[in-house]
Amino acid sequence: MSEITIKVRDIGKEYRIGETNEFQTMRENITRLVSGGVKKLVSGIGGKRGGNGHAAKKASRDNIFWSLKDVSFNVCQGEIIGIIGRNGAGKSTLLKIITGITEPTEGRIDIYGRIASLLEVGTGFHLELTGRENIYLNGAILGMKKSEIDRKFDEILEFSEVEQFIDTPVKYYSSGMRVRLGFSVAAHLEPEILLIDEVLAVGDAAFQKKCLGKLNNVATSEGRTVLFVSHDMTAILSLCQRAIMLEQGRVIAEGHTDDIVEKYLQSMSSTYEIPLDQRTDHAGDESVTIVSLKVENAEAGTPIKPSSRINIKFDYVSDKPIKYPRMIVKIRDFRTRVNLARLDSEIQLGLPETLPPRGTITCSTGELLLTPGRCVIDVELKRGMVTADRIEHAGYFDIETENVYGTGKIPTRDESVSLLKYEWQAE
């Protein structure tokens, strides 16, 4: 049996609603001092990870919320473990505790190895430093010598595809560029344990595929351990041998990936029975609430088929008129969560400059031309650049089969997601 690299025992994390916790890690303390001399790292100073401090405002015991409670599991060397669950289940909090960004309220974690993490865009980067300087800074924080970083530098640069901007301050990088460099640094600076959150979703499809291939190689060929948080069930199924499912801060299932993903999908099906205005997994600044969702065939009373046009209707409420509204609807495959379509009001200037405090927004599509199967809907309503309300798995609809090509044959959702009209010719 492989050696255990992570032991998580009875971890709990308590938050007091309305309280601001300030917890500085060694990484944060170092980056605060960068402009005053950490640039010397590039010319040869190494470092070690050290202890940390904790400062928090005192608060009453009222309004206590447990983001995690009684979480326990082991991770063995060379495993790729998927951590799945709905929004607010505690996945990101768990990774932050393991990596040392957040301090647990109770419990213990034993870690046997050097950790690198990519938990959000720009994690571990000092925005005033160049990409080159940040590579050396991250290596030093991992305890690597300059000569070790030098040997990996070209490989990091080639994988990240940001060579042209390596001597540009990171603050000028796009979010995609930061993810590219951040992943490349985390994967190539030889940590024994790699923690990856949903951040890879920021990158383009080709780079995501490249990252997944690297993660698989890191575990299988190099014997390193990976904890991978994602809502992309295709990535989880293809990459992870084992999965852990969190719900309301607790581990409710652990085992073979296929079994855990199936359990997760079953749990998501049950959420559709809860009215949107009663669900607790809304995200955003809460200035607007999407209270209901309805999907129907434009030809009322008939089943939805590949040739159907559909109307997606949202009821919303707000305390005041909504300035510069933007509605984003993602249609995904139910099982894999692969994107099938993205409907964005900004692309077509489809909404007025101001919406009333309550009302209905309708998105009407052309022919779906999607293969039969269940589709789920994620929805986000923004006020300008600010997310007012976002909810995943807000609703679903089923596409029934149809004789699209006149032959009685049609590909399955596993074979294709779209149904193009096409013809064959031979000469």
Reported as a single tens digit per residue, the pLDDT across 331-367 is 999 887 788 999 999 998 889 999 999 999 999 999 9
180 in any annotated domain: yes
Which pLDDT band holds residue 192 (cuts at 50, 70, 90)?
confident
Q: Are residues 12 and 93 in the same domain?
A: yes
69 in any annotated domain: yes
Q: Are residues 197 and 296 in the same domain?
A: no
What's the confidence (pLDDT) of residue 30? 52
Which pLDDT band holds residue 308 (cuts at 50, 70, 90)?
very high
160/154 Cα distance (integer angstroms): 10
Asked if 375 contacts 399 with a C-beta cutoff of 8 angstroms, the reply is: yes
Which pLDDT band holds residue 113 (cuts at 50, 70, 90)?
confident
Q: Are residues 260 and 311 in the same domain?
A: no
Q: Are residues 138 and 91 in the same domain?
A: yes
**Taking the mean position of all CA atoms in its chain, how far away is CA 302?**
36
Asked if 123 contacts 100 with a C-beta cutoff of 8 angstroms, the reply is: no
**To the nearest whole number, what is the mean pLDDT of the chain?**
83
Query: Pick from 207, 234, 269: which residue ends a domain?
Result: 269
292/377 Cα distance (integer angstroms): 12
98 phi, psi to nearest 5 deg: -65, -40
> Is residue 266 over pLDDT 90?
no
166 in any annotated domain: yes
CATH number of domain containing 310: 2.70.50.60
420 in any annotated domain: no
Structure tokens at 375: 């589709």
Q: Are residues 259 and 332 in the same domain?
A: no
Q: Residue for token digits 């001092």?
A: 33
> Is residue 37 over pLDDT 50?
no
Q: Which residues pair with 64 in a beta bridge?
A: 16
For residues 219-235, average pLDDT: 82
238/235 Cα distance (integer angstroms): 5
367 in any annotated domain: yes
50/423 Cα distance (integer angstroms): 65
> Is residue 43 over pLDDT 50?
no
Q: Are residues 325 and 221 in the same domain?
A: no
Q: Are residues 245 and 102 in the same domain?
A: yes
Q: Which residues pair with 358 in a beta bridge?
A: 317
Q: Are strands 354-355 and 193-196 parallel, antiparallel or unpaired?
A: unpaired
CATH number of domain containing 87: 3.40.50.300
Asked if 326 contacts 289 with a C-beta cutoff of 8 angstroms, the reply is: no
For residues 312-325, average pLDDT: 95
Asked if 372 contacts 400 with a C-beta cutoff of 8 angstroms, the reply is: yes
pTM: 0.66
> Is residue 38 over pLDDT 70?
no
Q: Residue for token digits 């303390």?
A: 29
419 in any annotated domain: no
Bigger pLDDT: 214 or 110?
110
289 in any annotated domain: yes
> Is residue 398 over pLDDT 90?
yes
Q: Are residues 138 and 257 in the same domain?
A: yes
Q: Which residues pair with 315 in a beta bridge?
A: 292, 360
Which pLDDT band holds residue 122 (cuts at 50, 70, 90)?
low
What's the confidence (pLDDT) of residue 18? 60
Q: Are residues 280 and 327 in the same domain?
A: yes
Q: Are residues 283 and 262 in the same domain?
A: no
The residues near 177 (Cβ < 8 Å, ≥ 6 apart) are 162, 165
Q: How many domains does the chain have?
A: 2
392/409 Cα distance (integer angstroms): 33
Asked if 372 contacts 414 with a C-beta cutoff of 8 angstroms, the reply is: no
Q: Which residues pair with 343 in a beta bridge?
A: 329
Per the structure, the complete domain to which residue 340 belongs is given by 276-399
92 in any annotated domain: yes
141/30 Cα distance (integer angstroms): 8
Query: Pick from 251, 269, 287: which residue ends a domain?
Result: 269
- Of the candidates 386, 425, 422, 389, the residue with the CA atom closest to the CA atom of residue 407: 422
88/283 Cα distance (integer angstroms): 9
148/167 Cα distance (integer angstroms): 20
Give the highest mean pLDDT range of 127-141, 244-258, 410-424.
244-258
> Is residue 54 over pLDDT 60?
no
Which pLDDT band holds residue 41 (cuts at 50, 70, 90)?
very low
> Is residue 47 over pLDDT 50?
no
Q: Are residues 123 and 253 in the same domain?
A: yes
Q: Residue for token digits 């460099």?
A: 181
Q: Which residues pair with 296 in a beta bridge?
A: 311
> Is residue 231 over pLDDT 90?
no
49/140 Cα distance (integer angstroms): 8
The residues near 297 (Cβ < 8 Å, ≥ 6 apart) are 303, 304, 308, 309, 310, 311
Query: Pick from 240, 269, 298: which residue ends a domain?
Result: 269
Query: Which long-range contacts (C-beta less than 8 Å, at least 24 apart) are formed by 355-359?
Result: 355/316, 355/318, 355/321, 355/322, 355/325, 356/321, 356/322, 357/317, 357/318, 357/319, 357/320, 357/321, 357/322, 358/315, 358/316, 358/317, 358/318, 359/315, 359/316
Q: Are residues 301 and 263 in the same domain?
A: no
